[in-house]
Structures are given as C-alpha cells and as structure tokens.
Amino acid sequence: MAGTSIMETLFQRDLDDLIKGIRQQQIKESLFISKAIEEIRREIKSTDLPTKSAALRKLSYLSSLHGADMSFAAFHAVEVMSSPQFFYKKIGYHAVTQSFNDDTPVILLITNQLRKDLNSSNQFEVSLALECLSRIGNVDLARDLTPEVFTLLSSNAVRVCFKRLVENLESSEPVILSAVVGVFCELCLKDPRSYLPLAPEFYKILVDSKNNWLLIKVLKIFAKLATLEPRLAKRVVEPICEFMRRTEAKSLLFECIRTVLSSLSEYESAVKLAVVKVREFLVDDDPNLKYLGLQALSIIAPKHLWAVLENKDFVIKSLSDGDYNIKLESLRLLMSMVSESNVAEISRVLINYALKSDPEFCNQILGSILSTCCRNLYEVIVDFDWYASLLGEMVRIPHCQKGEEIEHQIIDIAMRVKDVRPALVHVCRNLLIDPALLGNPFLHRILSAAAWVSGEYVEFSRNPFELMEALLQPRTNLLLPSIRAVYVQSVFKVLIFCAHSYLLHKENISSVNTDNLASEVPESVFARMSCENSDLATSEAPASSEQHDSFNPRNINQSFGDLSIENGGDATVSNSQASTSASLGRNSFTHESIVNLFNIVELALGPLSRSHDVEIQERARNVLGFTDLIEQEILNPVVQGEENLARAETEASRVVKLMCDAFSEELGPVSTSAQDRVPVPDGLLLKENLADLETICGDIQLPLSSSFSLSSTPLGEAVDISRTNLQSKDETEPSHESTSLLAEHRKRHGLYYLASEKSEGASNDYPPANDPMSQDKLNDDAEDLLKLTEQSLAPKKKPNQAKPRPVVLKLDGDEISVAAKKPELKDDLLSGVVQDVLLGNDGVPSSSRSNRSENLSGKSKGKEKLSTDLSLETKENVPGEKMPDHVNTSSRRSKHRSHGKERRQKGQGKDGEEKEDNGQKEKRKSNHHRGKHKAHQRADEPLNVVAQTPVIPDFLL
Amino acid sequence: MIYALFADMAVADNGSRQGKVRLTKWYSPYTQKERSKVIRELSGVILTRGPKLCNFVEWRGYKVVYKRYASLYFCMCIDQEDNELEILEIIHHYVEILDRYFGSVCELDLIFNFHKAYYILDEILIAGELQESSKKTVARLIAAQDSLVETAKEQASSISNIIAQATK
C-alpha cells in the first residue's frame, strides 16, 4: 500500500497537467474528462493526504469549469478540510464550498470542524470557515454556529477594522483611498445614516481629489447622505455644480447630474445646470449618452416636470430611435408627461405609432398607456367616452396582446363609472359584432368582457337584436368554453331585456297597468323556472312546454288574489329602466321581431344544451327553459280569448319582470379588504379545524337540490311546489331572497364571466367603428409625431371640458399605498460597531459604548424590534424549543458588547444564561443612567444620530 | 457594485450568433446552474444587438454594460444606481491593460493565458469595485508575480524536490 502511495504521489497528474491535457485536446474533451475523473476516483481514496488533496483539487476544477459531478467526493472533501495544515485545509474548504448543498448528507459532519475553525486563532482559518459558512449555510448550520459568528462580529476585529478604514480616508496613497471609498460607497447604499459623521472626510475628498474614479464614488455617497441632512446638501451643491461646469469626463458629469437630480433637486440653479447638461447628452450622437440623458430625465420627471417638457422634442424623436432601450426610455418619459389635458393627444399619437411598430414595442406602448390611464383610479381621464373608444381601438391594433389588461379595464370602468356605460356598450357591440376578432385568441378575453358588459348594461344598447345576433354568431364556437359561457349568460340577459321591453311596450299600448303587480312574485316563478330546467334535463323539451300549459292558469288564479292586495313599490326600478328603452322599444319591439328573436335563441342554443362543458350546458338550458316558459304566452296570443290572453300576458310579464329585476341588480366593485372590515361579533368562536365544514356544506346543498329535483316528477308535484311557494311568498322576505340568491349565484360564479387566455395578431379588416382618430392618417415620421404632440404637451390647460368628469366609484381598498417607505432601521451589529467607532473616539470607549446603549434604551423600540426580528426569524426556521437558544445568542451578543467594557461576566457559563439575561437588563439600565450622566457632561458629542434629529454638529462649518 | 463580468466571443457563422465564454468572474454568489443560465440569457440579449446601439441593457432589475472589441464582448452586470459610463471605462481600462501586457491582445491570448487574464482582473477589481486605476502599477505587480511563479516552478521541477516529496 505504501508503495502504491508513493507511486501515486510520484506519478499523479497534478492540476497543471490536467489543464494542459484538456487544452491540448489530443483526444476528445469529454473522453479526457471522464478518464480524468476515473483517475480521480481512484486517487481520492488514497490515505495519503497530498494525493487525496491533489485529486480533490482536480475534481473541483473539473466541476467548476466542465460541470463534472463531484457529489461522490463529499466525504473526502470533509476529510481534507479537517487537515491541520492550511494548504490542504484550503483545498478541502474550496471543494466543500463548491459542492455542498442542503441535500448533501455529510453536511452534518462539518459543523464541528466549522466551529473549531471559527474559533481558531489563525485568522485565515477563520476566514475560510466564514466564507464556507456563508456559501453553504443552512438552517442547522446557522442554528449551531450563530453564536460563534456573533462572537466574531463583536470581537475587536471589526471595530479595529473600521477604525483603520476611517483613518485611511485621509490616506495619501490613491489605491488605499479608492479601496476605502469603495467600501464606504457600498456601505452607504445599505445604511447611509451610520456614515453621516464621516461627511467631513468625504467632503475633503470631494474638494481635493483629482481622481475621477474616486469622485464618482464620493458623489454616490453624497447622493445618499444629502437626502438625510439638508445642511450637507447645501454644502456640496456648489462643488458639484463646479464639476459639472468644468469636467471633461462624461462619466463624472453624468454622476454629478444624477446626484443633483436625485438628491439635490431643491436647488433650482443646480437643477437648471444639470438639465442643460442633460440636453447636451440628448443631442449627442453617442447612443450611450442619449440613453443616459433620457434616464436622467426620468429621474427628475416626478419633481420637475418642466425639465422633461423642455426636452420633449428629443423625447418624442427618440421614440423612433433604432435602439429598443432608448425607445423604451422615451416611452416611459412620455407617459410621465401625461396629464388630464393631454392624455387624449398623447394616446392618439402613441396608438398611431403602435400601429406601425414591431409587435414587442407595440405591446409595450399599449401596456404603458393602459397602466398610465388606470393609475390612481383613472385620475387622468376626464372623458370616459373617449377612453372607452380608445380601448376599442386598442383591440383592433393587429399586434395587440394586452387582452387581459383591456378586459380588466373594460369591466372596471363599466362598474365604476356610470356615465360611460352607453358609450362602452356601443364599443363592446362593435367588438362583438366583428366576426374577425373571434379568430384571434389573444382577444378572447376582451370579447368576454365585451359580452359581459353588453349583457349587463343591455338597456343602453341601441339595437338588442343586433347584439343578440352578434352573441350567437356561428364563429363563437371558436371561443373557449369559459368565455362561451359568458356569452350565453349575456344572451340570457339580452333576451330577458327584449321580452321585458316588448311586454312593456304592449302594455303601454293596451294601457293595462298590471306591471306594478307583477314584480312581487319572484319566488314562485323562480321555483318554477328551475322546474323547467330540470325537466329539460330529464325529458324532451317539447314535452315540458306542454306541461306548463296546464298548470299556469292555476298559478295565476292563485296569485291574482295576492297580487291584488299589494301595490308594487318594487316596480319602480324596472320601470325607470324600461322607460329608457321604451322609446326605442316602440319602434323595434314588434311581435315578429320577438318571435324571430326567440327562434334564433332556440336555434343557436339548442346544440349547446348538450355541450360537454357543464357551465355552457347549464346556462344554455337556463335560457332555453326560460324561452319555453314564456314563449307560449308571448307568441301565441291570438288563439285564446281576450281574457285568457290578458292573463297569459300577465303571467309572462310577471316572469319576465322577475328575471329582469334579478338581473338589474347592480354589481359594484368590491374592495379587497371588504371582508376584513366586517366586525367579528361578540361571542363568535371561529373553529380552527374546518374539517367538518364539508358535512355542513353537504347538508346545505342536499335539501336545495332535492327540492329542485322534485320537479323531475311530472306535473302534479311541480304544481304542488309552486303552490307552496306561492303561499310562502306572502312574506316579503322570500321575494328578496330569490333575487339576492340569484345575485349571489352570479357573484359566486363571477369567475366564469371572465376567464381565459390570449394569443396573437388581430385581423384588422373591420373598420373601427367610432374612432376619432381614423381621420388622422398614420404618419410615418417622427417629425409628424412631434408636430402632433407639440400642442398637446404644452402645459396649458385645455378649456374644452364641457362636461364634468364623471364620478368614479372608489373603495377604501383602492387607496394606493404610497406610504413613504420608512427607511428601515438596519440597526445590525455591524453598523452598531461602525457607529461606535465613528461616534465615540476610541480613547473613551466605555463612554461611547454606554452612550450607544443609552441610545438603544432611549429608542428602545428599534432595539426591541431588532431582537424580536431575530427571534422571529429563528422561529420561522426552527420550531418551538429552539427559541430559548436564540434568546441566549442575542443576550450573548449584548453580553459581548458590554463585555469589552466591564469584564465581569467571564466566569458565567451557559447554564447561568437565564440569570445572566436578567442581570444584563439591569446592567443595561445602569448603563442607561450612566450614559445619561455622561451625555450631560459631554453634550456636544455627536452621538444620537438616529434618536434625536439634528444633533450632528456642523461638520463642515 | 459589479456583479459579474464575462467576455464571450460572437461566432457569426450561419446566422446563429452564439457566444462562447472565455472568461467569467462573479462578485456575488451564484450556483453553477444560475451562472450558466445568466450567461445564456445575457448572450442572447447582447449578441443580438446590432452595432451603433447604446451599450446598456436593462436585465432583471440590473443593468448590463457591454462593449465589443473585435469578436470579443466584455459584459458587466451592475446595479441600477451604478454609473454606466464608469463601468464602460473600467472595461476599457481592463482591455487596455491586457493589451499592454500581451502586446496587442487577441482572443487567443485570453484562451491560452486565461489565468493571467484573471490575475490582471483581480488587480483591477476587488469585490466588484475598481481598485487600481493605474495601468503602470498593474503591469508592475503582474510582472512581479510572474517572476515569483517562475522561480517557484524552477524549484518545483528540480529533481531533489520530487524525491523529497516521494519519501515524505
């Protein structure tokens, strides 16, 4: 064995040989690698550490560059890692870091090794272990090793390190200085507040340094600091302006511009200068500068819109730039310019532009128009009729893929803005009626929204018959079932509306004023309706129509008695609704047209009642049931005598009215937080375990279905039900109940009203119906674009707001949570130490530290939060009993903090930790007192950077 | 902070522009899988961009600054707040130093002396920040390291050393 070991050592290929071999490529690379791995597999089993480590090293190389699997070597890596010699240890650590993950079984073996190395006196070993931990650390390792890491953190190493860093800010060596500034630049990004005291040093660099690399970093630091301390901003603004005026380096110039625009935007003159420089960027030929110029503008846009407006010509010109990035940036800027007065023009320009741009950018444009317009509940939109037609236009853009977004907005504005409904229904009608749109799957969702809107607000439709034809056109079979179901539901609504209008129209003529009575009898009819439906489900349709012929008269007899007692107050809603359409109803709702309508519906939905999709099937049958129910009375008035006719009509109109009422219930937008605001009643105990919910639900559903299914037994029983229902309808409750039931059903199945997918490329063969922009032809040139927006972008107010902005329904939940993000107190240990170093000079460490703890107890919230945060974290990761462990660690932390101060706690072991914790508190308290005391003595010391506001002395003055 | 740097070659044959990576350097931890994904995605984004476009690409909340030298693209992935022009200058700085070291650098230099390219990079950048802005200093340091390596190699290849190792 020893012999082979020596041989192996002697003739083992080391890493260099391996790399050379791969590069020489005498044989195929993959073959070479698999050979090498076989070799490694053999060598790595060697007991000789050098051989083993060399093999491991080769394996690491192959794994990192050629993706070789090194999981088989996991245990060997652990072995090498535990070698006392640094050279091998390093190889081992490297391999472990590279290959271990949570699934590696032997990861549990390294905990102790890591702990040993973390506690090692050799700082390089410590750093190896730390680096390894940072890469592969998992929950277990973190739990076991956190104390060690905390020990390291609170050790003097970090403190000393920071002191050095600060000292080096005055270094004359440029390399050191740039490294130090680099460090602080990164640190400042994370937690600028802690470094505020260093402002004088940075300022000195800013003024003195000639090194542009350095200046850029310092400027970045000041960009962060200046927002925190206004006096600092005032101080730096002048030098920065000076840089802007004289520097040649574009990178520095850009950094200055960005600093001014982002952090010093209150300084008018500086901003003006910066904007001038931005303009120089914009007119430059270099696309990089152009891009950055646009970006700078978008930084400033929210605060100083004039800067954007001043450069609007460039912005619009770059919309047609060859570079996608530049186009995108200018689009963003353009959208930031949008206001109430110019939204129409900008949108028109952009839509024209979208028509001839490539699909990707086209959708980008559409997307940004949509998102800008709906911002803050459509706050920029005054004329919603225009917006509705704009949405309609978007659909007709060939590349439009924004189906989901447009769908959402169509429904949203329909629900929120009452005044827009007529226009929106018109737009939707145009969409629905176009057979070409059905061929584009991307638009199906929009069509579903359109169908919903035109069904829901059918009373605004100019021609419901036409709408019905659109909804039933043969090409609807291209739609997804879920959208088709929406169509069918809309057919139902439109049908009811037509029947209702027709009856109303008739009644008006014969001046029979029975409609007031009708609305009171929903439940009976409702029940009957469902009878019909289930009848349909079981038997043939013609049979059912025969049935109700016979039982209707009875119902009517019964209901007449009740009806005569009541004076319909409920009918007002439907009356008012009907009156709007009554006028047009007069000319269009003739007997023939209604008959025709019923025929169409039955013809189109007949096949659907056998659809495989349950939703379509059910809805189609609902509709068919309804038509069967009423067509007899409506359509055959001539056969019966006058009296009979009147009765029949009443019956039919009653049914129709009922349905009409049911559908005229408004569906408002519901805030997402609505549920939360329902107060929990006293004494309500919510069950944790909802497993028995199923049985309860089953109980509820069972009676429902059984009562409905009764009707599948023929005639006699069905009449019984209707009779009992009729009796019960004496109370007013049930009548409402049925409507609300229906409404609830719709709400519950609201999902089905809108859902589906999208796809690609609309055909554009149908001329846009009512677009104001078809007049302006598609202009090809950026110059034209420019001209178009010239007026619109001018910040003048347009006086043509003849009609006031309609009300947009708002919900509490809609409040856009702008809530200025509180700068998180990243009060971690590191910055704590940093503050220590920065604030207290190390000559008086104890006082500075006690000051710190005073700080902590002074704003104990921050501190408390920190510790709870920590414990929460562990709670999440580690269940239950691990908690105390953690408390220990945090107490240990504080121990370490005070440890340096008064070396009292040395002797205390782990078992005394609970006590220690208490003692700790007391100590902190005492620190607190002492700290206060000290603070009195040295009031001028800049300690409470966070707690009290501007205790920072005038560093720069 | 710079997150990653890589140089890859655009092979413009038969229309498919595919990058072959010559050099990568990561300044924050990624798994091997993520790395190859990042490289693949960025190559797709960058290599398809035509000439005369701007050298910045927004990508997943980061920015990528790239620059093309002959067939070689140098790309750096940076934070949103970073200064793009500065990064461009860093790339140029690096390329200039490579050029000075290899004497009009070409792709083959990077292929066969990839480790030196890394050493030089490490002299310039530390943890994703520019460390040494003087080309002369970098050249001097690299030269010093080279001579160290030479002496070490000589020692290692001496026969006595091998014997010493074997009999250990």
Distance CA A529, CA A626 (A): 7
Residue B155, number of CB atoms within 10 A of its CB: 10
Q: Give the residue from chain A lying closest to B87, CA to CA.
A: A251
Distance CA A411, CA A308 (A): 34
Q: What is the pLDDT of residue A925?
A: 45
Å between A285 CA and nearest CA of chain B: 10
Top mean-pLDDT range of A39-43, A529-533, A688-692? A39-43
Q: Does the structure show a pLDDT above 80 at B164? A: no
Q: Does the structure show a pLDDT above 60 at A174? A: yes
Per-position DSSP letters for A90-113, written without gaps between them: HHHHHHHHHH--TT-GGGGGHHHH
Beta bridge partners of B67: B74
Comparison of pLDDT for A30 and B102, the residue scoring more = B102
Q: What is the pLDDT of residue A42?
A: 85
Q: Give the residue from chain A lying closest to B126, CA to CA.
A: A179
Distance CA A599, CA A691 (A): 49
Q: What is the pLDDT of residue B1?
A: 62
Q: Does the structure show a pLDDT above 60 at A634? A: yes
Q: What is the pLDDT of residue A871?
A: 42
Domains, chain B, ordered by start: 2-133 (3.30.450.60)
Distance CA A216, CA B149 (A): 36
Amino acid at A775: Q
Nearest to A480 by CA among A748, A745, A751, A754: A754
Å between A865 CA and nearest CA of chain B: 29
Amino acid at A230: P
Q: Give the residue from chain B lying closest to A256, CA to CA.
A: B83
Q: Does the structure show a pLDDT above 80 at A938? A: no
Q: Is B34 on the interface with A (CB under 8 A)?
A: no
Which among B54, B57, B162 is the nearest to A10, CB-wise? B162
Distance CA A450, CA A410 (A): 7
Q: What is the pLDDT of residue A267?
A: 82
- Measured between beta carbons, the chain B residues lying within 8 angstroms of A174 are 133-134
What is the model's pTM?
Answer: 0.56
- Under 8 Å CB pairs connecting chains A and B tally to 90
Q: What proportion of chain B, given as a percentage, has pLDDT over 90?
A: 0
Q: What is the pLDDT of residue A898?
A: 42
Q: Is B126 on the interface with A (CB under 8 A)?
A: yes
A835 confidence band (pLDDT: 50, 70, 90): low
Comparison of pLDDT for A415 and A649, the residue scoring more = A415
CB A435 within 8 A of CB A475: yes
Average pLDDT over every residue of A564-589: 42
Q: Give the residue from chain B lying closest to A259, CA to CA.
A: B81
Please classify residue A232 by burial: count the beta carbons closer than 10 Å to its beta carbon, then call 0-12 exposed, 13-18 middle and 19+ buried.
buried
What are the backbone dihedrals phi and psi of residue A447, each rounded to the nearest 5 degrees, phi first?
-65, -35
Which among A23, A178, A324 is the nearest to B131, CB-wise? A178
Q: What is the pLDDT of residue A158?
A: 55
The CA-to-CA distance between both ends of chain A, in Å, stands at 78
In B82-121, the residues whose Cβ lies within 8 Å of chain A are 83-86, 88-89, 112
Q: What is the pLDDT of residue A854?
A: 42
Q: CB A288 to CB B50 under 8 A? A: no
Å between B103 CA and nearest CA of chain A: 23
Beta bridge partners of B74: B7, B67
Q: What is the pLDDT of residue A613?
A: 83
CB A22 within 8 A of CB A64: no
Q: What is the pLDDT of residue A512?
A: 41
Domain ranges within chain A, ordered by starting residue: 16-134, 154-264, 338-462, 464-510+588-665
Which among A63, A251, A290 is the nearest to B86, CB-wise? A251
Comparison of pLDDT for A788 and A128, the residue scoring more = A128
Q: Give the residue from chain B lying closest to A100, CA to CA.
A: B31
Express each pLDDT in A490-502 by its tens digit.
888 888 888 888 7
Q: What is the pLDDT of residue A785?
A: 53
Q: Mapping DSSP to helix (H, G, I), strand (E, B) and coil, where does residue B65 land?
A: strand
Distance CA A137, CA A97 (A): 10
Q: Mapping DSSP to helix (H, G, I), strand (E, B) and coil, where does residue B90 land?
A: helix
Q: What is the pLDDT of residue A6?
A: 56
Which range (A157-166, A501-510, A723-732) has the least confidence? A723-732
Express each pLDDT in A518-534 by its tens digit.
444 344 444 444 434 43
Comparison of pLDDT for A471 and A568, the residue scoring more = A471
Distance CA A216, CA A210 (A): 11
A734 confidence band (pLDDT: 50, 70, 90): very low
Express each pLDDT in B35-80 by its tens digit.
778 887 887 787 777 777 888 888 888 888 888 887 788 888 888 8
Which among B83, B86, B133 is the nearest to A178, CB-wise? B133
Which range (A138-142, A920-924, B35-39) has the least confidence? A920-924
Distance CA A333, CA A327 (A): 10
CB B2 within 8 A of CB B27: yes
Express each pLDDT in A275-308 by its tens digit.
888 888 888 888 888 888 888 888 888 788 787 7
Contacts of A251 (CB under 8 A, 6+ apart): A212, A216, B83, B85, B86, B88, B89
Express each pLDDT in A760-792 by its tens digit.
333 333 333 343 343 333 334 455 555 544 544
Nearest to A812 by CA among A667, A669, A679: A669
Which among A175, A183, A325 is the nearest to B56, CB-wise? A325
Q: What is the pLDDT of residue A607?
A: 82
Q: CB B55 to CB A288 under 8 A? A: yes
Average pLDDT over every residue of A44-66: 81
Q: Does the structure show a pLDDT above 80 at A947? A: no
Helices vs. strands in chain A: H and E counts, helices first:
47, 0
Top mean-pLDDT range of A38-47, A99-108, A141-150, B125-134? A38-47
- Show the tokens assigned to B141: 């340091």
Which among A10, A179, A211 is the nearest to B166, CB-wise? A10
Q: CB B56 to CB A258 under 8 A? A: no
Average pLDDT over every residue of A677-681: 77
Average pLDDT over every residue of A903-909: 43
Q: What is the pLDDT of residue A370?
A: 84
DSSP A477: G
A72 confidence band (pLDDT: 50, 70, 90): confident
Kindly state the helix (H) or strand (E) to which residue A163 belongs, with its residue range: helix A156-168
Helices vs. strands in chain B: H and E counts, helices first:
6, 7
Q: What is the pLDDT of residue A741?
A: 55
Comparison of pLDDT for B92 and B29, the residue scoring more = B92
Q: Is B51 on the interface with A (CB under 8 A)?
A: no
Q: Does the structure show a pLDDT above 70 at A201? A: yes
Å between A857 CA and nearest CA of chain B: 35
Mean pLDDT of chain A: 66
Q: What is the pLDDT of residue A936?
A: 44
